[in-house]
Structure 1
Amino acid sequence: MRWTCPFCDHKVFIDKANYYESVSTLLIENKHGRRQLTTAWIVCPNDTCKEYSLFTILHAQVWSPQATKWLQGELLQTWPLVPQSSAKVFPEYVPLGVREDYNEACAIRNLSPKASATLARRCLQGMIRNFYGVSKRTLFDEIEAIKDKVDPMTWASIDATRKIGNIGAHMEKDINVIVDVDSKEAQVLINLIEILIKDWYINRHDREEMLKSVVSIAEEKTEMKKAKPTE
């Protein structure tokens, strides 16, 4: 299977030599039914990495009359153990506050998706203020201020993150109305933050470094030309 190592961020192919799992089944009678817990180890095959990842996966089990046996059913929850979250490691030139909010959003995605969405919202606000130099009364006003600076789909995604993050940040007027956010939805917001960090910070940094190298080469050639003895 294809897999991206959370430590070195390399896309690699995992086979039996790099993957091991063990399965235990809850057979004790309970109100939820049979459960299957899989513990999985993956060792990165990248020779410069070789880190291991460890996670557990909980599924329901369902009886199949056709197969006349219990089969793996609905995925109920996944717990990353090593590393403790799916957070990517970003360079230090990405603002510390942005990295901290992003890391926390990843760390609590499964434990509290609504809190994770709220942190993604806060991370987004920090990025807008830092990258575009915009600071207004509300995040809504700040997002409106950059509407002509990003493409329409990116802007719509940013505004959607604000709205979803508001679910965790602000209680509904009717306290009996509960709008939930699940871990998959929280992960979508995290994915957007990762895309924006790459587009706004990493790509800009790489572009600046490339342009600096061009200027440096030109300056070096100019100096060599000046130093060349005249005949």
Structure 2
Amino acid sequence: MSFRWTCPYCNHKCTIGDKNFDYQTHSFGLSNKYKNKLGLKSIVIVCPNAECEEITINSYLYKSTNYSEYPYTEPDNQNDYIHKWTLLPHSHAKPFPSYIPEPILNDYNEACAISDLSPKASATLARRCLQGMIRDYWEITDTTLYKEINALEGKVTEQVWESLNAVREIGNIGAHMEKDINVIVDVESDEAKILIEMLEILFEEWYIARHERDSKLSRIQQIRDHKKAIKVQ
């Protein structure tokens, strides 16, 4: 078997085959609460990039699709699991260039590291990371993130502006208790990861795009200066 895959360590896009992929399933019953046989499936992938070769390990807990008296049978839908654990890497953070300020990357990396363990805390860190980007990239500083985002209206697309407000509002769930403490508003793991994906979009569209543009413009100026120097000779 073979499939397309992107390494979470080096972001290398590749095709994974039998040389880089292995899995094992341990099935058991043991009078568990699901009243059926369960299977713990571990999947190991080794990055084929010679400069990386890092190990990715995920484990999945499945409930057998057969009755308990029959042998364990894994569900056809691989996403139909009871629980999933990412053992390696410890975080799904992507590598980003060092010209993005370290405090901003630290908040991003921490948000990624706890998105499964504490989605609300992850959302709060995503909110903090967003505020750091607005203050650094746009040089907008005010008393609240709400005011800082409002100052961006008209400077970014309406869709981006609405998304910035969404990150702020969802991050507030983790940062502030509801007025009625009996009202429980949770942030799910997949929702926290969507906020993180928004941060990644902003890294690309703000910092990386600016760096690449500046590099190209600088190269043009270097070419001009080189041509001028030739004329002087």
Gaps of 5+ in 2: none
Q: Please tell me whether residue 210 in structure 1 is matched to residue 212 in structure 2.
A: no
1:101-127 residue CA offsets vs partner (Å, 9 max, x unmatched): 000000001101111111111111111
1:60-75 matched pairs, under 5 angstroms: 60-63=63-66, 70-72=73-75, 74-75=80-81
1:103-152 residue CA offsets vs partner (Å, 9 max, x unmatched): 00000011011111111111111111111111111111111110111101
SS of equivalent to 1:42: strand
Structure 2 distance, partners of 1:6, 1:76, is: 23
Q: Please tell me whether residue 220 in structure 1 is matched to residue 222 in structure 2.
A: no
Deviation at 1:15, TM superposition (A): 1.9
Structure 1 distance, partners of 2:28, 2:106, is: 38
% same residue:
47
- The equivalent of 2:58 in structure 1 is 55
Higher strand proportion (structure 1 or 2): 1
Structure 2 distance, partners of 1:143, 1:76, is: 39
Q: Please tell me whether residue 2 in structure 1 is matched to residue 4 in structure 2.
A: yes
- The equivalent of 2:160 in structure 1 is 154
- The equivalent of 2:149 in structure 1 is 143
Provide TM-score, normalisation by structure 2: 0.90
- Whichever residue aligns with residue 134 of structure 1, its letter is I
SS of equivalent to 1:48: coil
- The equivalent of 2:23 in structure 1 is 21
1:42-94 residue CA offsets vs partner (Å, 9 max, x unmatched): 11122332222222223333337xx9963337333332222211101111110
- The equivalent of 2:86 in structure 1 is 80
Structure 1 distance, partners of 2:222, 2:14, is: 36
Structure 1 distance, partners of 2:111, 2:82, is: 20
- The equivalent of 2:175 in structure 1 is 169
Q: Relative to structure 1, is the Cα distance of residues 214 and 185 closer, same or farther in structure 2, using a 3 angstrom cutoff? A: same
**Partner of residue 39 from structure 2, selected from 36, 41, 50:** 36
Provide TM-score, normalisation by structure 1: 0.91
Which is further off, 16-25 or 187-196? 16-25
**Contact 1:119/1:165, CA 8 A, preserved across alignment:** yes
Q: Please tell me whether residue 91 in structure 1 is matched to residue 97 in structure 2.
A: yes
Deviation at 1:189, TM superposition (A): 0.5
**Contact 1:79/1:110, CA 8 A, preserved across alignment:** no
Gaps of 5+ in 1: none
Aligned length: 226
Q: Relative to structure 1, is the Cα distance of residues 185 and 61 closer, same or farther in structure 2, using a 3 angstrom cutoff? A: farther
SS of equivalent to 1:80: strand
1:133-191 residue CA offsets vs partner (Å, 9 max, x unmatched): 11111111111110111101111111111111111111111111111111111110010
**Contact 1:108/1:115, CA 8 A, preserved across alignment:** yes
RMSD: 2.0
SS of equivalent to 1:63: coil
